[in-house]
């Protein structure tokens, strides 16, 4: 058990280190950008971007939680955490614009987002059940191990598809902030820093999923040999 845990940690260590770097960068970038004033609050910036894109039907709501910001494609609602919703800072408008970017993707039927939304149920199931079956398979059954690998592959697929979705939302956000005059040239580096740091967290999550899958594939191959 100890040796397996040690080997597993060695496999996923690069992703863990990258994740720690990303989280530190996010905290630093967010704190820095939060101190810089913006002409609009996060909620107002999101509303302006959505209206400019013709998405007057998408509501903007405040939601509890720290950085719990997200776009809900089922209910066409953009939900912003209170510190983003109410704050008139570059951090707030950058995050709000990113989420508005997802709403624009949804309205334009951006292909990677459509695929990601379809993959969500399988990824959620694969993350929980797939991981459990892979762990059980290491000790009890090669069959369970392979079933778990197949299910966890859905997680890897989701993470890989999610990368262009997040990168594209950030590109849309920066373009809209500049075009609508919400952020000027002096403020854009702060927004870039926040969104780039957030993007690295998605890269770390994708790398971790890939390395976990490769670890269990290696274990399954050794079983077959």
Selected catalytic residue, list 99, 109, 166, 179: 99
Spatial CA neighbour of 171 closest among 88, 121, 80, 105: 105
| Distances from the Cα of 214 to the Cα of 26, 108, 153, 223, angstroms | 28, 35, 10, 14
Q: What angle do CA 84, 87, 89 make, to 5 degrees?
A: 100
> Catalytic: 208?
no
Any residues with CB less than 8 A from the CB of 24 and at least 6 apart, and which? none
Tokens 């000027």 correspond to: 184
Contacts of 53 (CB under 8 A, 6+ apart): 100, 103, 104, 107, 176
- Secondary structure element (H or E) that encloses residue 56, with its range: none
- Counting every residue written for the chain, the total comes to 225
Outline where the chain has alpha helix (H).
2-34, 42-52, 82-85, 90-107, 111-125, 131-139, 142-179, 188-224
Catalytic positions, written as ranges: 99
């Amino acid at each position: 058990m100890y040796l397996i845990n040690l080997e597993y940690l060695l496999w996923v260590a690069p992703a863990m280190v990258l994740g720690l770097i990303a989280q530190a960068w996010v905290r630093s970038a967010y704190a820095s950008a939060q101190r810089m004033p913006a002409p609009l609050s996060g909620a107002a910036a999101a509303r302006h971007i959505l209206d400019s894109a013709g998405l007057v039907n998408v509501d903007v709501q405040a939601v509890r939680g720290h950085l719990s910001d997200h776009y809900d494609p089922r209910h066409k609602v953009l939900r912003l955490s209170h510190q983003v919703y109410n704050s008139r800072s570059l951090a707030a408008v950058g995050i709000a614009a990113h989420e508005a970017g997802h709403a624009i993707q949804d309205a334009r039927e951006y292909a990677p987002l459509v695929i990601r939304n379809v993959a969500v149920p399988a990824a959620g199931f694969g993350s929980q059940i797939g991981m459990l079956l892979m762990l059980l398979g290491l000790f009890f059954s090669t069959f369970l191990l392979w079933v778990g690998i197949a299910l966890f592959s859905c997680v890897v697929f989701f993470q890989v598809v999610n990368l262009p979705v997040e990168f594209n939302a950030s590109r849309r956000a920066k373009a809209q902030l500049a075009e609508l005059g919400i952020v000027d040239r002096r403020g854009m580096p702060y927004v870039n820093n926040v969104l780039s740091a957030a993007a690295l967290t998605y890269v770390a999550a994708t790398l971790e999923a890939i390395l976990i899958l490769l670890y269990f594939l290696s274990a399954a191959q050794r079983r077959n040999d």
